[in-house]
Amino acid sequence: MKTKNRRSGRGPVRTLLLLAIVIAAVAVIVYSVPIIAEKVDKETWNELLPDSLQFKERRRQGVPVAPTPAAGAAATAVSRRGPAAIAGMGRPNILLVVADDMGFSDAGCYGGEIATPHLDALAKNGLRFTQFYNTARCWPSRAALLTGYYAQQVRRDTLPGVRSGANGVRPAWAKLLPEMLKPLGYRTYHSGKWHIDGNPLQDGFDRSYSLNDHDRNFSPKAHTEDDMPLAPVERGAGYYSTTAIADHAIKCLTEHAEKHSGQPFFEYLAFTVPHFPLQAPAEDIARYQKMYLAGWDALREARWRRLQELHIGGSALSAIERDLGPPYHYTDALKKLGPNELNRPLPWRELSPAQREFQASKMAVHAAMVDRMDSEIGRVLGQVRAMGAWDNTLIIFLSDNGASAEIMVRGDGHDPNAPPGSAGSFLCIGPGWSSLANTPFRRHKTWVHEGGICTPLIVHWPQGIATEHRSELRHTPGHVIDMVPTILEVADGRNQASFGNRASAAPPGKSLLPLFAKDGTVTHDSLWWLHEGNRALRAGDWKIVAAGKDSAWELYDFTSDRSEMMNLAEDRPEKVRELAAIWTKQYEEYCALARKDLPPDAKK
């Protein structure tokens, strides 16, 4: 009985204990499930998103990618809501930033002495490409960048018998990127330089500020908003091109956040600097007033030392070609500019004190233009952050051609008494400083040696580039023809060939998206150049290049000589023939495409 009583006495206690344990267990489970779920979701999210290849795979598998209700707030929203929400993350926003005539090593993150903290920060948290190419000139680069074709294929660089080049009109099938993005739900904005045939709104942009006066940074006479002419700006009105272009981009993005936050955006931010005329706000110039008195020879060496530390730019610093001047010769301009202007990159030590001072004052303006552009990029980036779009915006920065050795006077002319960089001055950096800006490479804009066609390329995308890859370099060669396929794959997971009427020719570019995760994952059979008779072809680590239509091919081995100092053409004639045959085959194909269905008024 005692036992029974004891047992019966312990019964309710045990029941109560069991009940308490069950309640506690239930409470733990109820409390834990969301935590576990959250953890799993975060792990799944982390596994999926930072790795662009897996991200891309999801798109290929047809995972819906409907726009998010709040574009850009997706990252935090998704990590709370779990994998189901990943599909609803939305298409990434695209911010494509293009500089005009900026040299390969002008930016700090490419070895330059110019302050570019915003570009440097993008590079630190993104990727830098060390062998990325443009077409050597403004308009062909823009054509390639926005159509995904070589400029000659779409009649935007010169070919015989075809109205082509700066006045060429694209065939109807050669659509621009915004026209491809709009069916995917994108709102599309253009701010800055245009330099393509057609007009921005006609060619797929929802909004545009187009600065069509390339000779005045303080008082443009030709500029449009939404394809409608704006009144000319008077000098002294407080306008500066770079700031106005950034203001427009910020206006578009602010309006986007207010009215179109359910859609992703494509902002094409095309600055007109540091292209001549060298003009910048006086307070920016003042910061660089003394820096360039050290001269182009010493500063090139300094850039080269920094490039080596950064592992960018090959294995040797090219020698300055002291006898090579601007690509065009305007004797009148030299007369107007006076005895301190130089059309050859002479050794700095040979310059008179007055020449040194004048030359240094010009490069101070170039630096100020790049510096101000970086600040204005910073303001645009601030807007992207403020609208919660930072994590899911792919930001791309590049230059349309190498720095320019040109010397000319256009626009309102050059007043020798006006302070360098002011509205009354019209100056160009010329071959000495262009050699610095293109360090470590040879030659300049218009030539297709490395100095004319190499650009910095920075890619930043928190959701598309894994944390462990940030700050890395990508040595795989790429070209502006790759930008359309890259952006389309990022936006939609599809190949460019599947967009629009592409019956005319397969697009020549490759999506660079695999490179976001790993170097060496994209290969081109060859890359091809032709501009004003300057020709080149790169296949693997071999490059043939010629300056002018009547010049013989030079041959360089890029495994040891990216600075193009050791011409191997005589030693390896069979390699020259092999590469020249590829160049000619592509040339003939591009001519045939440009001539196909040629309207009568496009024949020449």
Nearest residue (CB) to Ca ion, 138 versus 407: 138
Nearest residue (CB) to Ca ion, 78 versus 136: 136
Nearest residue (CB) to Ca ion, 372 versus 469: 372
Smallest separation (angstroms) from Ca ion to the CB of 410: 15
Smallest separation (angstroms) from Ca ion to the CB of 400: 4
3-state SS of 513-565 is: HHHHHCCCCCCCCCEEEEECCEEEEEECCEEEEECCCCCCCEEEECCCCCCCC
Backbone angles phi, psi at 86, to 5 degrees: -60, -40
Q: Which two tokens mark 40?
A: 């799993």
- Rounded CA-CA distance 126/516 in Å is 9
Smallest separation (angstroms) from Ca ion to the CB of 207: 23
Smallest separation (angstroms) from Ca ion to the CB of 590: 22
Q: How far is CA 462 from the centre of its chain?
A: 17
Smallest separation (angstroms) from Ca ion to the CB of 358: 24
Smallest separation (angstroms) from Ca ion to the CB of 347: 28
337's torsion region: left (phi>0), alpha (psi -120 to 50) or beta? alpha
Nearest residue (CB) to Ca ion, 101 versus 376: 101
Smallest separation (angstroms) from Ca ion to the CB of 354: 30
- Rounded CA-CA distance 590/160 in Å is 11
Smallest separation (angstroms) from Ca ion to the CB of 103: 11
Backbone angles phi, psi at 207, to 5 degrees: -140, 150
- Rounded CA-CA distance 166/159 in Å is 11
Q: Is 224 exposed, middle or buried (0-12, 13-18, 19+ CB in 10 A)?
A: middle
Q: Which two tokens mark 283?
A: 């307070």
Nearest residue (CB) to Ca ion, 101 versus 374: 101
Q: Which two tokens mark 504?
A: 């005319």
- What residue type is 88 in one-letter code? G
- Rounded CA-CA distance 578/446 in Å is 25
Smallest separation (angstroms) from Ca ion to the CB of 437: 12
Residues that bind Ca ion (CB under 5 A): 100-101, 138, 400-401
Q: Which residue has 């003042």 as its token pair? A: 286
Pairing of strands 393-399, 93-100: parallel
327 and 453 Cβ atoms separated by less than 8 Å: no
Nearest residue (CB) to Ca ion, 67 versus 192: 192
Nearest residue (CB) to Ca ion, 143 versus 522: 143
Nearest residue (CB) to Ca ion, 156 versus 306: 156
Nearest residue (CB) to Ca ion, 241 versus 463: 241
Among all residues, whose Cβ is closest to Ca ion? Answer: 138
Smallest separation (angstroms) from Ca ion to the CB of 215: 14
180 and 172 Cβ atoms separated by less than 8 Å: no
Nearest residue (CB) to Ca ion, 56 versus 366: 366
Pairing of strands 93-100, 527-531: unpaired
Nearest residue (CB) to Ca ion, 100 versus 564: 100
Nearest residue (CB) to Ca ion, 400 versus 532: 400
- Nearest to residue 291, comparing CAs of 115, 435, 426, 109? 115
Nearest residue (CB) to Ca ion, 103 versus 509: 103
Per-residue burial over 133-163, b if 16 or more Cβ lie within 10 Å, else e, is: bbbbbbbbbbbbbbbbbbbbbbbbbbbeebb
Q: Measure Cα distances from 314 to 311, 371, 397, 524 in Å.
A: 8, 26, 21, 20
Nearest residue (CB) to Ca ion, 263 versus 401: 401
Smallest separation (angstroms) from Ca ion to the CB of 192: 12
Smallest separation (angstroms) from Ca ion to the CB of 275: 5
Helices (H) and strands (E) in the chain, counts: 17, 15
Q: Is 251 exposed, middle or buried (0-12, 13-18, 19+ CB in 10 A)?
A: middle
- Rounded CA-CA distance 75/389 in Å is 9
**DSSP E strand stretches across 296-382:** none
Helix ranges (H only) for 153-280 are 177-181, 241-259
Smallest separation (angstroms) from Ca ion to the CB of 122: 21
Smallest separation (angstroms) from Ca ion to the CB of 401: 5
Beta pairing partners, 229: 224
Nearest residue (CB) to Ca ion, 192 versus 485: 192
- Rounded CA-CA distance 188/196 in Å is 17
Smallest separation (angstroms) from Ca ion to the CB of 195: 8
